[in-house]
Amino acid sequence: MATTLNDSPKYRNSLICCSPRSVDVTSRSSSSTSGCVSADESYDSNYIPKSIANKKLKIHSSATKEEVEKAINQCKELVLNSPQCSDERKWLVRYLVELRLRLEDLKENDGQLRSRVAIKGHHFEQQTTTSNRKQYCDHCSGVIWSIVQSSYICKDCGYICHYKCVDDICRVCAHVVMTEKGQFEMNICPEKGLAAQEYNPRSVDVTSRSSSSTSGCVSADESYDSNYIPKSIANKKLKIHSSATKEEVEKAINQCKELVLNSPQCSDERKWLVRYLVELRLRLEDLKENDGQLRSRVAIKGHHFEQQTTTSNRKQYCDHCSGVIWSIVQSSYICKDCGYICHYKCVDDICRVCAHVVMTEKGQFEMNICPEKGLAAQEYKCAECNTPLTFKDSWNEPRLCDYTGMYFCGTCHWNDLSPIPARVVHNWDWEKRYISRLAYQMLTLSWSRPYIDVENVNSKLFSFIAELEWVHKMRKDLEWMKRYLCACSEGSNLLSPLFVQLGDVNRKYSMSHLQAINDGSLETQLTELTEVCRLHITNCSLCSGKGYLCEVCGNNEVLYPFDSGAIMCDKCNSMYHRGCWLRKGQNCLKCLRLGERKKNINTTDDVDTNLEYDIDKFVK
Amino acid sequence: MSSRKKVLLKVIILGDSGVGKTSLMNQFVNKKFSNQYKATIGADFLTKEVIVDDRIVTMQIWDTAGQERFQSLGVAFYRGADCCVLVFDVTAPNTFKSLESWRDEFLIQASPRDPDNFPFVILGNKVDLENRAVSAKRAQQWCQSKNDIPYFETSAKEAVNVELAFQTIARNALAQETEAELYNEFPDQIKLNANDNGRNRDGDNCAC
Q: pLDDT, tens digit, for every residue of A407-422?
A: 988 888 889 999 999 9
pLDDT for the residue B117: 87
Q: Do A615 and B75 touch (CB under 8 A)?
A: no
Residue B165 distance to chain A (closest CA, Å): 22
Rounded to 5 degrees, what are φ and ψ at A185?
Answer: -65, 125
B198 to chain A: which residues are within 8 Å by CB? 554
Other beta carbons within 10 Å of A490: 11
Q: What is the pLDDT of residue B122?
A: 94
Q: How big is the CA angle at A181 (ends A196 and A391), to the nearest 5 degrees? A: 75
Q: Domain segments of chain B: what residues? A: 7-185
| Contact criterion met (CB < 8 Å) for B74 and A547 | yes
CB A547 within 8 A of CB A462: no
The domains of chain A are located at 65-162, 246-346, 364-446, 456-546, 548-599
Subunit contact A556:B45, Cβ cutoff 8 A: no
Angstrom CA distances, A181 to A17, A18, A120, A172, A247, stand at 8, 8, 16, 13, 65
For B133, name the nearest residue in chain A, comparing CA atoms only: A619
Beta bridge partners of B120: B84
Write the ipTM: 0.78
- Of the candidates A542, A547, A574, the beta carbon closest to that of B45 is on A542
**Nearest by CB: B76 against A549, A613, A619:** A549
B200 has pLDDT over 50: no
The answer to whether B97 contacts A619, with C-beta atoms less than 8 Å apart, is yes
Query: pTM above the 0.95 mark?
Result: no
The pLDDT of residue A597: 80
Mean pLDDT of all residues in chain B? 82
CATH number, span A65-162 = 3.30.60.20
A309-323, A455-469, B84-98, B143-157: which has the minimum mean pLDDT? A309-323
User: Which candidate, B40, B150, B30, B18, places its Cα nearest to that of B90?
Assistant: B18
Pick out chain A residues at pLDDT < 70: 1-57, 61, 109-113, 130-131, 198-243, 290-294, 311-312, 505, 603-620
Residue A23, number of CB atoms within 10 A of its CB: 11
Residue in A544, A552, A553 closest to B76 by CB: A544
DSSP letter assigned to residue A83:
P
Report chain A residues whose CB lies below 8 A from the CB of B72: 483, 573
Nearest CA in chain B to A587: B208
Q: Is A283 helix (H, G, I), strand (E, B) or coil?
A: helix
Minimal C-alpha gap between B77 and chain A (Å): 4
Please report the residues numbered 497 through 556 in chain A whose beta carbons come closer than 8 angstroms to any beta carbon of chain B: 541-542, 544-549, 551-556
Contact at CB, A589 and B100, closer than 8 angstroms: no
Report the distance separating Cα A379 and Cα B60, nearest Å: 76
**3-state DSSP call for residue B11?**
strand
Find chain B residues with C-beta within 8 A of A546's C-beta.
42-43, 73-77
Q: Give the separation between CA A366 and CA A434, rounded to whole angstroms.
A: 15
Please give the pLDDT value at position A193: 77
* Percentage of residues in chain B having pLDDT higher than 70: 81
User: In terms of C-beta density within 10 A (0-12 exposed, 13-18 middle, 19 or more buried), how is residue B123 classed?
Assistant: buried
Q: Count CB neighbours of A171 within 10 A.
A: 22
Beta bridge partners of A419: A432
**Dihedral of the alpha carbons of A429, A434, A437, A439, in degrees to the nearest 10:** -30
CB pairs under 8 A between A and B: 93
- Residue from A393, A391, A37, A6 nearest A187 by CA: A37
Residues of chain B with Cβ-Cβ distance to A592 below 8 Å are 208
Record: fold of B7-185: Rossmann fold (3.40.50)
B138: nearest CB among A589, A593, A618: A618
pLDDT of residue A95: 82
| pLDDT at B31 (0 to 100) | 92
What is the model's pLDDT at position A233? 65
Q: Pick the residue from chain A with its C-alpha nearest to B46.
A: A542
Buried b (16+ CB within 10 A) or exposed e, A515-550: bbbbeeebbebbeebbeebbebbeebebbbbbbbbb
Dihedral, CA of residue B68, residue B70, residue B74 and residue B79, to nearest 10:
-80
What is the pLDDT, as a whole number, of residue B85? 94
- Give the model's confidence band at B92: pLDDT under 50 very low, under 70 low, under 90 confident, else very high: very high
DSSP secondary structure of A347-366: GGG--PPPHHHHHHHH-S--
Of B73, B78, B96, the CB nearest to A483: B73
Query: Minimum mean pLDDT among A113-127, A154-168, B5-19, B154-168: which range?
Result: A113-127
Confirm if B16 and B36 have CB atoms less than 8 A apart: no
- Tell whether A616 is within 8 A of chain B (Cβ): yes
Residue A72 CA to residue A93 CA, distance in Å, equals 10
CA angle in degrees (0–180, nearest 5) for B161-B162-B166: 115
A484, A541, A549, best to mutate vs chain B, most B CBs in 10 Å? A549
Q: Which residue of A has its CA nearest to B45?
A: A542
Residue of B nearest to A484 (CA): B73
Which residues of chain A have a CB within 8 Å of the CB of B44?
487, 542
Residue of B141, B142, B165, B171 whose CA lies nearest to B152: B165
Architecture of domain A364-446: 2-Layer Sandwich (3.30)
Q: Domain A246-346 classified CATH 3.30.60.20?
A: yes
Type of residue numbered A257: K
CB-CB under 8 Å, B108 with A551: yes
**Residue A614 touches chain B, beta carbons under 8 Å:** yes
A572 inside 8 A of chain B by CB = no
